Structure 1
Amino acid sequence: MNKQDQLNLIKDDFINSQKVLLAIGDETRQAILMVLMSTDCQTGLRVGEITEQTHLSRPAVSHHLKILRDAGVILMRKEGTKNFYYIDIRTKLGSLKNLVLDIETLLTEFY
């Protein structure tokens, strides 16, 4: 692959990662992600549990969870009337890995 092809690939990677980058760029959402990553619970956490650990209001947590879900960073599982939020490795976070790897490949080959 020539340099221009790799640059075009990286441009596509950036486009595919825009929502994820915006979603995880916020400190509050980073705190929520840290809570979700640090829990021993494999089934996810409910809004109330996230609220307790982040000291944010329920509406704030719900708002940020929606942004993270819309960006494809987290997933939600319904169990009756309860919603459980969790990070899945198959989410859009993988697009960031592709972006970084493609940039690294370009820099290694051409610089």
Structure 2
Amino acid sequence: MENYQDECHLKEIHQLAEEFESCRKLLLALGDENRQHLILEMMRMGQCEGARVGAITEKTNLSRPAVSHHIRILKEAGLLKVRKEGTKNYYYFDADTEAMDRLLQMLAHAKEIMEHRPERK
């Protein structure tokens, strides 16, 4: 019985590892302190139609190239989108719902595994 439980537990852990792997880009984007600050400042700006890099730069202690770099990472992770108006780019939050769903599923699965650990009972 114990071998079966160990085998099932290993399968769960391997599945969780795959789920974690599928969330890495999003976790990396959210895990950086500068990007967290940038996200918070963008939210505080309250610009639902989007904000330009210059306006975002003014609200952070980051240089314009650094803000552009972090925006690129957030875009690639599916957290930001860009709206173009002529030659101007406006960045706004519109998270990739599939990526967010994968992240939520992975976190729920990790919580479920932890709740069923023998030392928790």
- Please indicate the TM-score interval, normalised by the length of the shorter structure: 0.7 to 0.9
Deviations 1:64-97 (A, max 9, x none): 1111112222222222221111222435344322
Offset, 1:110: 4.2
Q: Which moved more, 1:34-43 or 1:54-63?
A: 34-43
Q: Which moved more, 1:44-53 or 1:17-26?
A: 17-26
Q: Does structure 1 residue 108 correspond to structure 2 residue 115?
A: yes
Gaps of 5+ in 1: none
Aligned to 1:46: 52
Structure-2-length-normalised TM-score: 0.76
Aligned to 1:57: 63
Percent identity between the two aligned chains? 40
Residues of 2 paired with 1:32 and 1:23: CA distance?
A: 11
Q: Which moved more, 1:25-34 or 1:87-96?
A: 87-96
The equivalent position to 1:85 in structure 2, one of 91, 98, 121, is 91
The equivalent position to 2:105 in structure 1, one of 87, 98, 102, is 98
Aligned CA distance change for structure 1 residues 9 and 38 (closer, same or farther; 3 Å) = farther
Deviations 1:33-91 (A, max 9, x none): 11122232211211011001003221111111111112222222222221111222435
Whichever of the two has the greater Rg, that structure is 2
Task: Provide the aligned C-alpha RMSD in A.
Answer: 2.0
Structure-1-length-normalised TM-score: 0.82
Offset, 1:3: 3.4
Q: How many residues align?
A: 110
Aligned to 2:21: 15
Q: Which amino acid aligns with 1:80?
A: G
Gaps of 5+ in 2: 1-7
